[in-house]
């Protein structure tokens, strides 16, 4: 019983314990779960609210995009819209905040408008700046056309300004190149000719004239201090400087290298150096010295310009005259010729003069020595001299000398004949326009009036060049009349040298042309606009200013075609039109270009190389491989001002041991 009561009491106790713990558990559960449920529920509520709000925003953005795309689709193609979509995806959407924050370019204008206006303005601006062919399109129908117009004007102004800057830079670069070219040409034209010309390599050592330069510099500084000493009343020092200047000037003289200086030159340098040191201590003033040097520089510049003009005048004068030695030769030969009996004045093989199967040359010259070089060089390089025939025409003054020279020095087995232009009685002023024009008072004034204020002295001399007045120069336009029995003839100037056999020229196919010549249009200044006046309508209507010029000096003429096309008549027509010199000014090349326009067949350049009378940079290989070399220009090989580097090609065909040449002091 006791045991049962114990057990029952235990059970009752357990029941009471379990009953008392249950409310506690319930209370704990509520205290933990209730806050959890509250926060979970709040989170779900907030999430729902965010979802609703984001959904609303997304719906609103989608609506904007649909509206913008609908507006843009009406304006652009699908390709342009794809480009816009890609750019937007890369950059992100645009908004007023981005404008206000300054994230965009300064060229964008901030305008607060509605969403619809933003989309419309962006689409309109995009249409303005984009097109299918890459050019700008203007759409003034958009709402913000004034703003776009302002931006477009600013953009156009910037482009125009940049383009003007680029054009200005190009003009400056072109001007620099032109000035450089002018300076180079002046350097060539005004070079000191003769003994100290720029092409003669006399000074191999660059420092060989250092002493000469030092003495000249001392003289310049002494002259500066002489002027300053006079200003500051230092008469004793001034007199001492003058004495030293005279001594140094006598010592230097015309020396250009140290080897030409006298033995006393070092003493003069020391004496001058001592005086200059004293002058520097007493007289040196930077401003005064600079002013004196600048004044001396200006004076020297004026002297150089004056000397250039004088040099140009003298070089042209020398180029137009015959040296005394050649004039002596001509006079001696003339006297000997007229002392000969008539039967001894005839050349052999005169029957070949009209044989069209031989190789005929026309040479018009008043220079005996030059003509002899042309004939000798041709015959010495000919494979069969017997087939070559030379037709020489000269003036009455040199007729006896030309005959006598070739009677004494016959050209081997070749045939030669000498005539005077006065023998052609048909060549008179009624037939030849040039002769008629030369007889007019206007032409005489044009060529001979020295006090014409419109021309400088050098240009007056150029206009009075005897070759422009001589019919020997214009006789080339009358070849069929001079040689009526011939079919082809090779015209040669007297300032050329033949270096190869020329017989192949007679077999060159001229393709129906009248003149075979080497073209000279490798440079722009050798085209037609260099020689003809294209401001004249007669010239501009009939000729191309960029047409290639060609060279007189070695020309193959087809005399049959000449007669068919009446080339002499064409020449007369244009010469009559140029009576007032409105089409061209000087020479026979301009009327030749006109007369043979479209009738000239270009020969290979190796047949005829030009420039040995003015161009110091002709390629030596071209000269050695040329069939004919031409000394065109003022520096003829028989003159002292000839370029020494080219003269040997000419002198090797002259026998300087000839008694007539020795008696006239003709030497290399």
pLDDT tens digits, residue range 186-205? 554 443 333 334 344 444 44
Q: Which has more confidence, 275 or 179? A: 275
CA distance 643 to 640: 9
Question: Average pLDDT in the 133-148 region?
Answer: 52
579-581-584 Cα angle (round to 5):
125
- Whether domain 324-451+460-664 has CATH 3.10.580.10: the reply is no
On whether the CB atoms of residues 589 and 474 are closer than 8 A, the answer is no
Residue 238: exposure state from Cβ atoms within 10 A (0-12, 13-18, ≥19): buried
* pLDDT of 127: 46
Residue 111 has pLDDT above 90, yes or no: no
Residue 104 has pLDDT above 50, yes or no: no
* pLDDT of 530: 85
Question: Average pLDDT in the 152-174 region?
Answer: 80
Q: Which has more confidence, 512 or 47? A: 512
Which residues, at least 6 apart from 212, have a Cβ–Cβ distance to it below 8 Å? 252, 255, 256, 257, 258, 260, 261
Question: Average pLDDT in the 338-365 region?
Answer: 93
* pLDDT of 370: 95
Question: Average pLDDT in the 382-386 region?
Answer: 93
On whether the CB atoms of residues 197 and 644 are closer than 8 A, the answer is yes
pLDDT tens digits, residue range 615-663? 898 999 999 999 999 999 888 999 888 898 999 999 999 999 999 999 9
pLDDT tens digits, residue range 598-625? 999 999 999 999 999 988 989 999 999 9
Q: Which has more confidence, 218 or 317? A: 218
103: confidence class by pLDDT, cuts 50, 70, 90:
very low
> What angle do the packed helices 115-129 and 2-73 form, to 10 degrees?
50
- Strand, helix or coil at 629? strand
Structure tokens at 522: 């490798």
Residue 18 has pLDDT above 50, yes or no: no
Mean pLDDT estimate for the chain: 77
CA distance 111 to 115: 11
Structure tokens at 178: 């032109």
Q: Kind of pairing, strands 488-492 and 554-558?
A: antiparallel
Residue 179 has pLDDT above 80, yes or no: no
Residue 564 has pLDDT above 70, yes or no: yes
pLDDT tens digits, residue range 410-430? 998 999 999 999 899 898 888
* pLDDT of 647: 93
Structure tokens at 214: 């030092």
Strand partners, 496: 630
On whether the CB atoms of residues 121 and 111 are closer than 8 A, the answer is yes
Give residue limits of the domains in the chain.
211-319, 324-451+460-664
CA distance 607 to 553: 11
Handedness of CA 240, 241, 246, 247 (dihedral sign): positive
Annotate 416-444 with DSSP letters as a single string.
Answer: EEEEEGGG-TT-STTT-HHHHHHTSHHHH
* pLDDT of 510: 94
């Amino acid at each position: 019983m006791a045991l049962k009561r114990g057990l029952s009491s235990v059970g009752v106790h357990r029941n009471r314990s379990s009953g008392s713990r249950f409310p506690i558990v319930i209370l704990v559960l509520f205290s933990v779960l209730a806050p959890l449920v509250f926060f979970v529920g709040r989170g779900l509520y907030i999430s729902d609210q965010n979802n609703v709000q984001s959904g609303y925003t997304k719906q609103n953005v989608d609506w904007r995009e649909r509206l913008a795309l609908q507006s843009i689709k009406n304006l652009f193609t699908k390709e342009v819209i794809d480009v816009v979509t890609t750019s937007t995806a890369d950059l992100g959407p645009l908004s007023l905040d981005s404008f206000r924050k300054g994230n965009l370019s300064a060229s964008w204008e901030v305008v607060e408008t509605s969403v619809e206006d933003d989309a419309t303005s962006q689409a309109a601006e995009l249409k303005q700046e984009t097109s299918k062919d890459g050019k700008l399109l203007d759409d003034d129908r958009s709402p913000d056309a004034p703003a776009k117009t302002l931006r477009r004007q600013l953009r156009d102004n910037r482009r125009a300004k940049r383009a003007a800057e680029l054009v200005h830079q190009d003009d400056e670069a072109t001007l620099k190149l032109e000035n450089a070219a002018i300076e180079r040409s002046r350097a060539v034209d005004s070079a000191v000719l003769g003994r100290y010309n720029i092409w003669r390599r006399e000074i191999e050592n660059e420092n060989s004239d250092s002493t000469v330069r030092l003495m000249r510099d001392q003289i310049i500084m002494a002259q500066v201090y002489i002027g300053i000493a006079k200003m500051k009343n230092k008469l004793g020092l001034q007199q001492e400087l003058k004495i030293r200047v005279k001594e140094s000037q006598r010592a230097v003289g015309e020396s250009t290298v140290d080897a030409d200086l006298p033995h006393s030159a070092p003493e003069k340098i020391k004496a001058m150096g001592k005086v200059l040191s004293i002058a520097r201590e007493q007289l040196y003033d930077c401003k005064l010295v600079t002013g004196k040097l600048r004044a001396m520089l200006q004076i020297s510049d004026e002297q150089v310009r004056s000397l250039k003009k004088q040099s140009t005048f003298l070089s042209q004068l020398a180029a137009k005259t015959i040296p005394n030695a050649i004039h002596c030769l001509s006079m001696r030969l003339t006297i000997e010729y007229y002392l000969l009996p008539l039967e001894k004045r005839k050349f052999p093989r005169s029957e070949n003069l009209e044989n069209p199967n031989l190789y005929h040359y026309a040479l018009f010259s008043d220079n005996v020595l030059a003509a002899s070089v042309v004939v000798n060089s041709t015959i010495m390089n000919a494979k069969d001299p017997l087939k070559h025939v030379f037709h020489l025409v000269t003036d009455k003054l040199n007729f006896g000398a030309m005959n006598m020279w070739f009677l004494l020095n016959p050209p081997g087995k070749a045939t030669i004949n000498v005539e005077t232009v006065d023998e052609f009685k048909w060549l008179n002023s009624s037939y030849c326009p040039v002769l008629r024009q030369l007889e007019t008072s206007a032409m005489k004034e044009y060529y001979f009036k020295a006090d014409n204020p419109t021309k400088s002295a050098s240009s007056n001399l150029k206009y009075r060049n005897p070759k422009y007045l001589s019919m020997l120069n214009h006789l080339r336009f009358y070849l069929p009349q001079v040689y009526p029995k011939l079919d082809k003839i090779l015209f040669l100037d007297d300032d050329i040298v033949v270096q190869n056999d020329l017989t192949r020229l007679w077999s060159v196919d001229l393709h129906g042309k009248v003149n075979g010549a080497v073209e000279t249009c490798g440079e722009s200044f050798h085209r037609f606009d260099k020689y003809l006046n294209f401001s004249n309508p007669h010239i501009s209507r009939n000729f191309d200013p960029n047409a290639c010029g060609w060279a007189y000096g070695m020309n193959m003429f087809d005399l049959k075609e000449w007669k068919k096309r009446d080339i002499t008549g064409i020449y007369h027509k244009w010469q009559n039109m140029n009576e007032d010199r409105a089409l061209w000014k000087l020479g026979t090349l301009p009327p030749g270009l006109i007369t043979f326009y479209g009738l000239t067949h270009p020969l290979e350049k190796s047949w005829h190389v030009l420039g040995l009378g003015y161009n110091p940079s002709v390629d030596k290989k071209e000269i050695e491989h040329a069939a004919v070399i031409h000394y065109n220009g003022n520096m003829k090989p028989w003159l002292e001002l000839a370029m020494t580097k080219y003269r040997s090609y000419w002198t090797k065909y002259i026998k300087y041991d000839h008694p007539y040449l020795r008696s006239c002091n003709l030497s290399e």
